[in-house]
Each structure stands twice: as structure tokens, then as C-alpha cells.
Amino acid sequence: MNILYFAWLRERLDRSQQQVEPPEHVKTVADLIDWLAQNDEAIALAFENRKLIRAAVNAQIVDHDAPIADAHTIAFFPPMTGG
Amino acid sequence: MNILYFAWLRERLDRSQQQVEPPEHVKTVADLIDWLAQNDEAIALAFENRKLIRAAVNAQIVDHDAPIADAHTIAFFPPMTGG
Amino acid sequence: MTVRVIAHGFDPGGQTNLFLKEHNSAGAVVTFTGLVRSSPSDPITSLMLECYPDLAINQVETILAQGLTRFELLAATIIHRYGTMVPGDPIVQVMTMSPHREAAFEGAQFLMDYLKTDAPFWKKETGPTGTKWVDAKSADDRAKARWK
Amino acid sequence: MTVRVIAHGFDPGGQTNLFLKEHNSAGAVVTFTGLVRSSPSDPITSLMLECYPDLAINQVETILAQGLTRFELLAATIIHRYGTMVPGDPIVQVMTMSPHREAAFEGAQFLMDYLKTDAPFWKKETGPTGTKWVDAKSADDRAKARWK
């Protein structure tokens, strides 16, 4: 699946996207963050305060307990400041 | 002094203005309406429901108890429906 | 602040663009445009708006000054047309500009609520069944009363 | 109803005029225009607005559908720009049309309050002291909460 990063998350990770193949036991957005953080110190630091992290699965905003079984694209970003 | 009429008052009186010289004892807008009504049956009828009559003295909206000593122009009109 | 009481039509978007040029640090601009309305339940073919211009200028300037004092507005403009119009024609436009969107919205609502009851214009509608003067609406008095 | 998420500038007044043509029986049209703001206390030279376009289209369409259902709107349009802008440039425009001015005003306020918190755009400001990401405002969360 493809992971997208936006705003200061993108800048701190120095990447706007990456391809990952998480193992079977990674079932939710929260599981995915844990798994990514275990394998990447930059992600562990940038995602430290989970309350600041919003997520979207296939371009739909979801909570961190949402399943990712059918996900082809998962996006992570800070609180939105549009308008 | 010059008296102006607007909207359905103007239509019912069939005039948009008239010149009058009220006597000394006519001191307020209400006095003026009474005096006009005494001398003109069309005005007596059109002004019958005084609550529907708004007034302005020298292009400033006033209550019916306002003095008319310094008036050069007095306007009468129904409730406004602008905007 | 600008007040225009005019006997001819105006270009709503053109007026908004002129207004936007007044301050480029504003952040929030609200434009209200009132159009001549015709509906299936109350169809009209034309609207005549009578005006007492001398009083209109005084009243609209007073309303605008109150709005500018009461809300955090950097600028505000009121344009009010009179004369004979057809459905879809713009009658009135109110524009407000503020650093904050709440002030811009509330300022524009305040100005419209006061214009409805305090500006010396009178509407006369012509439709398929004839011509009639529009009655003042108690809803407009209530809308104004909430700002007391 | 129209949603446009665009990477280039737009003409605020021209958009209002296009919108006005949609229904000539509307009566009341409200346009909100949000501009890049620079103030003496918080001067900026440019604003970069990052966007996630696929999500933005979904979110803005959802917000617009909610507004149309909740208020008596005949039409509504949202235009949101992203990319790099300078002070005075229009960022966002919301337009609502209704037979009644209260519905047009409230509908536009509702749409703006939701856009501020629910549309995937992120602001990065550049000023004399450097570049920084704009924090989400708790005032925007409160503004949205009043519609619950």
C-alpha cells in the first residue's frame, strides 16, 4: 500500500510518500503507526504525539481504530488549517 | 413648509407634495396631521390609522410628538420595505 | 465607508472586486446581494422601488456608522437601487471586510436587518393578478430586534 | 452545487456573477471571500497552502451536501485554492443562494466553519522572521461545534 504524508509530517520525514507491505497482524491505522514507528526512528519521533495525527484511508478520513484491510492509500497529516 | 408623501399615501392622496402654512398652535407632527385632516377629507381617510404613518422632519425620522418649529420639509410615509 | 443610493443598475461582482481592493490585509470579506425575487407561489413581472433619497442617504449612513462601530470592520459599503426592476435584478448589496470572518458575517447581517426596516424604500410589485404595495414584515422587525 | 479545488487564482467578483446567473428567483445571495492576510502584528510575505486533492474533493463535497440539506439553499458553490500566494490573494470563496437572507447567511457561515476544520489544507506562512506552519485554532473548533 501507498502511504502519503502532508505538511510538517512530510517535512520532518523528508518524504511525501512511501510504499509498504505490512504483515498480517497490522489490522488498523493504529497498528500501522506502531509498525512503522518500530522500523523507522524518524516516524517514531514525528508520530510521538498521536493526538496530532489525522488519518485517511482511500481518501476518506478515519479514526485510528479503523481497519486497513482494503486500503490502497493511507494518508497521515496534522490538524487541517484550510479556509 | 413643504409636505412630501410616499408610497400608498402618495397614491391615495394623488399628490407627492404640497405647500402649507399651518397656524401658530400647530406645534408637533401630530398637531400637523390633525390640522391637515380637518381641512382635507382625503388626508383624514388616508391618515386614519396613525400607527401606520411614519414621519420625517428635514430628512430626519421623528416621532409624532416631535416639534415642527424649524421644519422646512416634512415627509409622511408608511412602514419601510427596503433591502 | 461608502453609501450609494442609485436609480440605475449595478454590477454585483464588479462592486465586490472594487471593494476587495480597499484593504489587502483584511482576511474576510462578506458580500450580500439582494435580488428581485419571483417565485411560482408569488410570481411577479416587475418591482417598483420608491425612495426618498434625502432621507435614504441619512438613514443608510447612520446604519453603516452603527455597523462599523459595533463590529470589527475595516470597511463596509452599502449600495441600494431604486426605480423599476425585473426578477433577477440586484436591488441591494452590502459588503463588509474584517480580519475575522465572524465579524464580517455579523456586520453584514446587522446592516441588512437594519436596511429592511429603517431605510426609506417602498416596494410595489406587479404580477399576473395586478399591482400591490408590499407590506412591512414582522419577521423583519424581529430580525432587527435581536441586535438590541 | 459546485466544488472546485484549484491550484491557480480565481476572480472573486466574476465567480459571484456566474453564481448569480444560476437562479434568478433566489432573492438572497451571500458570498464569503477569504484572502491571504498580512497584518502589522503578524506580517507575512507569502503563504503556501498544501492540499491533498483527492481527500479535499471528498471532504468539500460532503460539507457542501450537509449545508444544502440543513439550510434552505437553492444553490451553493465552494472554491478553494492551494499553492503559493501573496497577501490579498483570494484563497477560498463560498457562495449560497436562498429565498431568505437568514438561510443564505447561515449556510455560508456553516460551510466556512466546516471548511476551516475539515478540509485537508495546511497553511505555511513566510514572513520577515522565517517560515512556519500555522497551528489549527481552537476558535475554529468552537465555531464548528455550535452547529452540532
D126 touches chain A (CB under 8 A): no
B17 within domain boundaries: yes
Q: Which of D34, D59, D135 sits opposite A61 (nearest CB)?
A: D59
Q: At what angle do helices C101-118 and D101-118 cross, to 10 degrees?
A: 180
E strand or H helix at C81? strand C75-81
CA dihedral sign of residues C98, C103, C109, C115: negative
Spatial contact of D45 and D128, defined as CB atoms under 8 Å apart: yes
Within chain D, where are the H helices?
Answer: 12-20, 53-70, 101-118, 138-145
Cα R_g (chain A), whole angstroms: 12
Q: Which domain holds residue A7?
A: 2-77
D26 touches chain C (CB under 8 A): yes
B45 within domain boundaries: yes
C49 touches chain B (CB under 8 A): yes
| Residue C5 to residue C81: CA distance in whole angstroms | 6
Which residue type does B39 have? N
Residues C104-133 pLDDT 10s: 999 999 999 999 999 999 999 999 999 999
Maximal C-alpha separation, chain B: 39
Asked if the Cβ–Cβ distance from D121 to A81 is below 8 Å, we say: yes
Q: Which CATH superfamily is domain D2-145 in?
A: Molybdopterin biosynthesis MoaE subunit (3.90.1170.40)
What's the DSSP call for residue D127? E
Q: Domains in chain A: how many in total?
A: 1
What's the DSSP call for residue C39? B
pLDDT at residue D24, as a whole number: 65
Q: Bridge partners of C5?
A: C80
Label residues A10-49 b or e (16+ Cβ within 10 Å = b).
beebeeeeeeeebeeebebbbbbbebbbeeeeebeebbee
Please report, rounded to a whole number, the percentage of residues in chain A having pLDDT higher than 70: 100
Spatial contact of B63 and B52, defined as CB atoms under 8 Å apart: no
Determine the length of chain C: 148
Q: From B7, which residue of chain C is nearest by alpha-carbon distance?
A: C122
Residues D124-137 pLDDT 10s: 999 999 999 999 88
Residues A42-63 pLDDT 10s: 999 999 999 999 999 999 999 9
Residues D1-36 pLDDT 10s: 799 999 999 999 999 999 998 876 689 999 999 999
Spatial contact of B26 and B74, defined as CB atoms under 8 Å apart: no
E strand or H helix at C112? helix C101-118
Nearest CA to CA, how far is D72 from chain C (Å)? Answer: 14
Backbone dihedral angles phi then psi of residue A10, each to the nearest 5 degrees: -60, -45
Return mean pLDDT, chain B.
97
Residues D69-79 pLDDT 10s: 999 899 999 99
Q: In which residue are the cell numbers 514525528 written? A: A46
Tell me whether strands D83-85 and D46-51 are parallel, antiparallel or unpaired. Answer: antiparallel
Locate C132 and state its grid cell: 400591490
Total CB pairs under 8 A between chain B and C: 73
Q: In which residue are the cell numbers 410616499 written? A: B6
Short-list C101, C104, C106, C58, CA closest to C80: C58
Spatial contact of D64 and D1, defined as CB atoms under 8 Å apart: yes
User: D93 CB contacts (<8 Å, ≥6 apart)?
Assistant: D10, D12, D15, D16, D31, D32, D33, D34, D77, D78, D79
Q: What is the pTM of this model?
A: 0.94
A83 within domain boundaries: no
Nearest CA to CA, how far is A15 from chain D (Å)? Answer: 14
Asked if the Cβ–Cβ distance from D30 to C30 is below 8 Å, we say: yes
Q: Bridge partners of D77?
A: D2, D95
ipTM of the complex: 0.93
D28 touches chain C (CB under 8 A): yes
A82 within domain boundaries: no
Q: For testing the chain B interface, which of C54, C55, C60 should be mutated: the one with the most B CBs within 10 Å?
A: C55
Question: Which CATH number characterizes residue B69's domain?
Answer: 3.10.20.30
pLDDT at residue D22, as a whole number: 82
pLDDT at residue A33, as a whole number: 98
Q: From D139, which residue of chain A is nearest by alpha-carbon distance?
A: A81
B82 within domain boundaries: no
E strand or H helix at C35? strand C28-35
B83 within domain boundaries: no
pLDDT at residue D139, as a whole number: 87
Domain residue ranges of chain C, discontinuous segments joined by +: 2-145
Q: Which residues of C touch B78 (CB under 8 A)?
A: 122, 133, 136
Tell me whether strands A54-57 and A73-77 are parallel, antiparallel or unpaired. Answer: antiparallel
Short-list C33, C52, C6, CA closest to C90: C33
B6 within domain boundaries: yes
Q: From D115, which residue of chain A is nearest by alpha-carbon distance?
A: A83
Tell me whether strands B73-77 and B2-5 are parallel, antiparallel or unpaired. Answer: parallel
